């Protein structure tokens, strides 16, 4: 008894990723064939949608840009409507290595946890040392470590990569994240804490991620300051709920 | 600052912060719209506790009594928050129009599709 691949959906939120989306979809089909692939095009104004359709994925296009978290949630709602038993979410910019999808899926299939989160910071054997090093800007690494530590303290379980959007979840978590409880702007460490408080089992899986050499608009300007404010406030009110 | 004023200001600042946080907790106020309110509440607390800062600002802006400074900031805050709302409403209006138009176009396309008319162009890119 476990989840079949046919009842699993891969969700790829994408915003203006015409250059990378086809190879991401191709990579998924290479490592995990027989699975449904859904691209949520978050109001891209390039050829992301066409590229994704050509690569063999289903595409939902938002009428305008709603943000990464909302794009994910649209994918969740679709999966719920269609009766999928598990989903795996992977970024559309090629940062997440699709060869680890089977590892994430295995955790859900074997019912070892309700949600599996890929971490680039977990020490592990079997992964070549040079491919383990993820070079992120120092401040960002500091921020991840900081919120990872806070999260680990609160849920009393070691979390090394709280910002990782590379995850697998079963249908019970799917119901939760499709609801209003899911924080659509910057879903991150606060989601992990909320899930834990709702009684879900969380497991981290070591993976390799690639560097993104292009500048990401998600982390520019005032956003890092707002992100820190939002995370603190969100975590604080989460602890006050229930 | 006279102790009575201080207590009132503190009560007001703390009360405001608690109210905003409670509204966020109850999901009535989104985090993204709460920051200006929280910053203001924190600033009120700061001024209430650090009277010298209030005196310094009063002198800086050329006011005579500290209460003028308080009123000025309250006024500034109301202007800022109104401006913030105007910006948010503008964005919502644009998106609402976008959504309504797309909905209308899709509805027509859908009805024609139901009747079996051959599709001539689509609202989706």
Domains of chain B, by residue range, sit at 3-115
Q: In the structure, what pLDDT confidence band is assigned to residue B123 with cuts at 50, 70 and 90? A: low
Tokens coding A198: 């709702």
Helical segments of chain A, H only: 21-31, 48-54, 68-81, 101-109, 129-132, 138-155, 171-177, 189-197, 223-240
Is pLDDT above 60 for B81? yes
For A170, the domain range is 5-240
Which residues of A have a CB under 8 Å from any CB of B? 49-50, 61, 63-64, 180, 183, 185, 226, 229-230, 233-234, 236-237, 240-241
Nearest CA in chain A to B100: A63
Concatenate the DSSP letters of all residues of A132-162 into one string: H-----HHHHHHHHHHHHHHHHHHTS--S-T
Sign (positive/negative) of CA torsion A139, A210, A203, B32?
positive
What confidence category does residue A112 fall into, taking pLDDT thresholds of 50, 70 and 90? Answer: very high
Q: Which of B24, B99, B124 sits opposite A237 (nearest CB)?
A: B24
Between CA A87 and CA A166 the distance in angstroms is 11
Q: Are residues B109 and B122 in contact, defined by beta-carbon separation less than 8 angstroms?
A: yes
pTM of the predicted model as reported, rounded to 2 decimal places:
0.87
Per-residue pLDDT reduced to its tens digit, A34-89: 899 999 999 999 999 999 999 999 999 999 999 999 999 999 999 999 999 999 99
Count structural domains, chain A: 1
CATH number (domain holding residue A108): 3.90.550.10
Alpha carbon separation from B47 to B17, B21, B39, B50, B77 (Å, rounded): 14, 20, 12, 5, 14
The ipTM is 0.77
């Amino acid at each position: 008894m476990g989840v079949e691949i046919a009842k699993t959906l891969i969700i790829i939120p994408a915003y203006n990723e015409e250059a990378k989306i086809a190879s991401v979809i191709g990579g998924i089909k290479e490592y995990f064939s027989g699975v449904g692939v859904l691209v949520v095009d978050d109001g891209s104004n390039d050829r992301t949608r066409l590229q994704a359709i050509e690569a063999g994925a289903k595409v939902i296009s938002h009428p305008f840009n709603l943000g990464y978290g909302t794009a994910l949630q649209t994918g969740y709602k679709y999966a719920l409507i269609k009766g999928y038993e598990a989903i795996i979410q992977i970024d559309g910019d090629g940062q997440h290595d699709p060869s680890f999808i089977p590892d994430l899926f295995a955790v859900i299939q074997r019912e070892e946890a309700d949600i599996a989160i890929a971490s680039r910071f977990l020490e592990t054997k079997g992964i070549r040392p040079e491919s383990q090093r993820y070079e992120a800007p120092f401040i960002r690494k500091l921020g991840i470590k900081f919120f990872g530590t806070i999260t680990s303290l609160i849920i009393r379980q070691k979390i090394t990569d709280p910002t990782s959007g590379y995850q697998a979840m079963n249908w019970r978590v799917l119901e939760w994240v499709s609801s209003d409880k899911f924080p659509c702007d910057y879903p991150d460490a606060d989601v992990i804490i909320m899930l834990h408080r709702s009684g879900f089992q969380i497991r981290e899986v070591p993976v390799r991620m690639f560097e993104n050499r292009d500048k990401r608009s998600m982390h520019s300007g005032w956003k890092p300051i707002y992100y820190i404010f939002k995370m603190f406030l969100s975590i604080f009110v989460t602890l006050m709920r229930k | 600052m006279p102790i009575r004023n201080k207590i009132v200001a503190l009560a007001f600042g703390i009360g405001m912060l608690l109210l905003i946080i409670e509204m966020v907790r109850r999901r009535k106020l989104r985090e993204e719209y709460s920051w200006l309110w929280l910053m203001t509440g924190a600033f009120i607390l700061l001024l209430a506790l650090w009277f010298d800062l209030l005196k310094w600002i009063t002198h800086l802006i050329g006011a005579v009594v500290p209460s003028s400074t308080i009123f000025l900031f309250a006024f500034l805050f109301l202007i800022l928050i109104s401006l913030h709302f105007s910006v948010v409403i503008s964005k919502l209006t644009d998106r609402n129009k976008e959504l309504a138009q797309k909905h209308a176009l899709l509805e027509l396309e859908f009805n024609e599709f139901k009747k079996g008319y051959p599709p001539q162009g689509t609202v989706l890119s």
